[in-house]
Amino acid sequence: MDKIIYNFKNKTALVTGGAQGFGLDIAKRFLNSGAKVIIWDIDSKILEKTVKDLNNSNLSSSIVDVTNYKEVENCTNEITKNLNIDILINNAGITGPTAPLWEYDLDMWKKVVDINLMGTFNCCRSIVPTMIKNNYGRIVNVASVAGKDGNANASAYSVGKAGIIGLTKSLGKELADKNIAVNAVTPAGAKTRILDQMTKEHVQRMLSKVPRGRFLEVEEFTSLVCWLSSEENTFSTAAVFDISGGRSTY
């Protein structure tokens, strides 16, 4: 099936964690739809290969750790010297290890929450003022069905993603009188590298809960993110959009 191409001409989109997986597919669809795209990722090797493979003059990238506010702020200032950031996709994330809460490594717990939740906060904190100045913005925060349901043996990840949902609801309301939309999406499992961080049994358990009976395809996810990021989305904000194949019916 052909995917819808949106009109993202004259728009600049920033995708965090865009070197691979969901973020990369979103970046590709934005580029195909006429946007300028900036990818921020912490993995320099994969980022370099991705940028080389895409070979697109509308694409630029930086190695950024979204948990480091100073780094995020410096890179934001660098971009906004020449461009508006119209679209922000807070997609960088890790699942961390699969373990019950009472055995969870203390540092890993903090790290998982830091990347998923504080990373999203840092990018919004740094970029929203420029969107306010331009009276335009579309922000999509990538949460997870884990943030709604709470996955056993993934407490840090579930907390980080639940936090993103709360942040989205607050920020969306704070910006509702402007042409800025802030929404969260809650995907079920898709076959990206992130699945390697979990045990096979955990992944199988996740899949068994999905009435559609299969993994989410990255292109299906991108389609939802693109509509939420488009000018066409003039009303929906502070909301949580489910894409869990029937798993979470609320």
Catalytic residue IDs? 157
**Please, is 53 exposed, middle or buried when counting C-beta atoms within 10 Å of its C-beta (0-12, 13-18, 19+)?**
exposed
User: In 3D, which of 130, 136, 120 has the Cα closest to residue 8?
Assistant: 136
Shortest reach from residue 87's CB to ligand NAD, in Å? 16
* Residues near ligand NAD (CB under 6 A): 16-17, 19-23, 40-43, 46, 64-67, 91-94, 115, 119, 142, 144, 187, 189-190, 192-195
Phi/psi region, residue 194 (left: phi>0; alpha: psi -120 to 50; beta: rest), is alpha
Return the SS3 of 141.
strand
Contact (Cβ atoms closer than 8 angstroms) between residue 169 and residue 236: no
Closer residue to ligand NAD in complex, CB, 67/98: 67
Shortest reach from residue 42's CB to ligand NAD, in Å? 4
What span, in angstroms and rounded, lies between the C-alpha atoms of 30 and 34? 6
Give every strand in the sheet of 180-187, ordered side by side.
59-63, 36-41, 12-16, 87-90, 137-142, 180-187, 239-243
Shortest reach from residue 57's CB to ligand NAD, in Å? 22
Closer residue to ligand NAD in complex, CB, 17/137: 17
Closer residue to ligand NAD in complex, CB, 37/64: 64
Shortest reach from residue 30's CB to ligand NAD, in Å? 15
